[in-house]
Chains A and B, each alone.
Chain A
Amino acid sequence: MVKYFVRRAIQAIPVLLGISLITYFILLIAPGGPYARFAQNPRITAAQIEAFAERWGLNDPIPLQYCKWLGVCGQKPFLINALPGGTFQVAGLTIELPGGDNGVLHGDFGYSITDGRPVTEVIGSRIIPTFILAGTAYIIWVAIAFFAGVYAAVKRYTLFDSALTVVNYVGFSLPTFWLGLMLITLLASPPLKWFPVSGMWNARQVPTFGSAEYWTYFGANTIPALYDLGVHLVLPVFTLVLVNIAADSRFIRSAMIDSLNQDFVKTARAKGVSERRVIFRHALRNALLPVVTNIGLEIPFLFTGAIVTETIFSWPGMGRQFIQATENFDYPVLMGILLVTAVIVVVANLLADVAYAIVDPRVQYD
């Protein structure tokens, strides 16, 4: 079995290389390319654009650029910083350059072409808000879907079961972004105005999330800070929960029904085991098997975030960062996010297979 997983892990390498190659070429071949944001600005001179191209290595052929991004080609192909910080000027902006630029294989993802921050720092600052939002929603929807799915399976064809089916149909058909818009319209706009329209903190009272001042404020005013965060969480979390409950509860319900129809459940009932014990000890334990792997496969979502929900509610997470980077054609940031996401998805798939093999002794890999 170990051999199987080693082989799977090795097979993941060409897949990841393929993903990065495709996305890199799409990004740099696209019309306008990294220069797109200068096109509308008449004050940018040809010399400035040339300096920009020189700094980011855009004059190289694209395969060479990809090779450098990867960290295989380049003047200093070992763990030495080719660009050990310094300042850089473009369009009247002074940009500080900390860290290295040696390519992904050396752990350097390069710099954002919009604000010059290292890509790792950009992604790092966005991952905690994403984790807070996605994590809260995930716990709530998995818990609700679990209990609703099991209950609907036990009380099949009752009013509750049909109600859950209706909720599922609606959940499948509601576009997430529109649900978010309607929640804002209903609960965050006049006349009700119960919740803030967007954002993660009240900028009038609370310092920027993640900054040193924020944590000082958080330490001094823990309760109001948590309340402020909670109020901002309600609508985006509700959106995510409603949309995601559908698929999960349907899956859990059918797994539980399958399990309840098995012969060992009939045997247990025939022996006179109490219904309660039949459901919880015999049926549920076996239904958990597929459910656990299925729920586990949703874990990458905790890091990649909900691009739609974050955009609608201006939540400062990974998804929104991606949209902003796309608008600015910030290809180093885009490549960073795409690669991190792809790695997380590949690893999660592998872990789900491992978990499945551990939980279910019948599963054999060769």
Chain B
Amino acid sequence: MDPTIRADGGALAPIAPTPVEPAPADFEVSLVSLNQWQIAARRFRRHKLAVFGSVLFLSIVAIAIIMPFFAPFDFYKVPDPVAHCPGAPKSLGSSGCPPSLDHFMGTTGGLQRDVFTVVVNGARLSLIIGVGAALFAAILGAIVGGTAGFFGGWLDNLLMRIVDVLLSLPILFVILVASKFLGGGSWVSIILVFGFLGWPPIARLVRSLFLTLRSEVFVEAARAVGVGSGRIIFRHILPNALSPLIVATTLQVAAVIVTEAFVSFLGFGVDVTQPTWGNALTGAVRFIPLGNWWWPLFPGMAIVLTVLGINFVGDGLRDALDPRSRY
């Protein structure tokens, strides 16, 4: 407001500035500005289920990394059935011993392996495949979806028709065929198969985000001052599309772990000599009718806890990264 025009129309006497007491040093107010990610992190920490989920998931990861070194039995050494199964009832035959002090998850049928050792060793490959395939799918999906959404036109049309074709394929069918006939049982090829078949939904998501963001005012402004396409994509659009992409990738990890377990369980996935949770369950089927419940139970529990943890984290991230959420 113009200081010469005063509401009371009074004299132009200068108003004595109210003396401001200098704030004492220990009351100094410092304004800490939080960036987008710090706010999200704070929201995430307040989300109880998400914290629980991340603790669950991180402890499983820690077990997967550390435990095989401390596990009481060597996975690759086939134990001596007699030495490892003391006092087992004879009626059980070779169908494994129930949980005991020596083997708190029991032993498998047949080779009498320690189920705990099998589960702990399986964790590594299962987690690597889950995370690796999800990251691969996310990167591929972001590149394809971003290209289609940003450039549009015939390129968009072509890429989206390819996505349509891949999405119309019954996905589990294709995974089975591809992992059996192209995979050859190595975990690297399984990551490639799952990554390559997992990108279409992510590409669709990223494309729609790019389509919306492309016409935002701040992108127009950037273009108006002469910012190049590359910089617009990476500095102006991508950071805004990142949150949904992160959530989708997290949930993809859980989906891959479950599907990989089933594919390996059927014998189409990772070679049976390699420990994964799916492979751990393969042999259990024959011994279930003999009353062996501990062999199928524990590897499956490992899958369920991991997936539950990841799903909680995914939900927490969705809420934390959404600026409109109330957390």
Contacts and interface: CB of A to CB of B under 8 A. Distances in A.
Contacts of B173: 307, 322, 337-338, 341
Contacts of B169: 19, 22-23, 338, 342
Residue of A23, A32, A334 with highest tally of chain B CB at under 10 A: A23
Interface stretch (A110-118, A128-136, A183-191, A353-361): A183-191
B67 interface: no
The 4 closest A-B pairs by CB, nearest first: A30-B181, A178-B300, A18-B165, A173-B308
A31 B308 CA distance: 37
Given A23-B177, A173-B308, A190-B289, 16 more contacts: A15-B165, A19-B168, A26-B174, A31-B181, A31-B184, A178-B300, A178-B303, A181-B281, A181-B284, A181-B285, A188-B289, A190-B291, A311-B266, A326-B177, A334-B177, A341-B173
A31 B177 CA distance: 12
A14 B161 contact: yes
Given A175-B258, A175-B304, A308-B262, A15 B161 contact: yes
A197 B289 contact: yes
Contact of A326 (B161, B268, B300, B308): B268
B182 A30 contact: yes
Contact of A26 (B182, B289, B297): B182
Given A15-B164, A30-B181, A307-B173, A189 B303 contact: no
A186 B288 CA distance: 9
B196 to A, nearest CB: 12
A323 interface: yes
Interface string B137-181: 000000000000000000000000110110011101110111011
A178 B165 contact: no
Residue of A32, A169, A304 with highest tally of chain B CB at under 10 A: A169
Given A19-B165, A19-B169, A323 B266 contact: yes
B293 interface: yes
A177 interface: yes
Contacts of B164: 15
A18 B311 CA distance: 34
Interface in B276-322: 281, 284-285, 288-291, 293, 296-297, 300, 303-304, 307-308, 311-312
B237 interface: no
Given A23-B169, A184-B288, A307-B173, A174 B161 contact: no
A13 B198 CA distance: 24
A113 to B, nearest CB: 15
B265 interface: yes
Residue of A177, A182, A189, A322 with highest tally of chain B CB at under 10 A: A177
Given A15-B168, A323-B176, A323-B266, A173 B297 contact: no
Contacts of A308: 172, 262
Nearest to B310: A173
A178 B308 contact: no
Contacts of A337: 173
Given A27-B181, A175-B303, A176-B262, A341 B170 contact: yes
A325 B169 CA distance: 17
Contacts of A346: 168
Contacts of A172: 307, 311
A299 interface: no
Contacts of B281: 177-178, 181
B161 A175 contact: no
A268 interface: no
Contact of B170 (A26, A189, A345): A345
Residue of A169, A175, A182 with highest tally of chain B CB at under 10 A: A175
B293 A186 contact: yes
A49 B174 CA distance: 27
A182 B304 contact: no
A188 B173 CA distance: 28
21 contacts: A18-B161, A19-B169, A23-B177, A26-B181, A26-B182, A30-B177, A30-B181, A31-B184, A169-B311, A170-B308, A173-B308, A173-B311, A174-B304, A178-B261, A182-B296, A185-B293, A189-B288, A191-B291, A323-B176, A323-B266, A337-B173
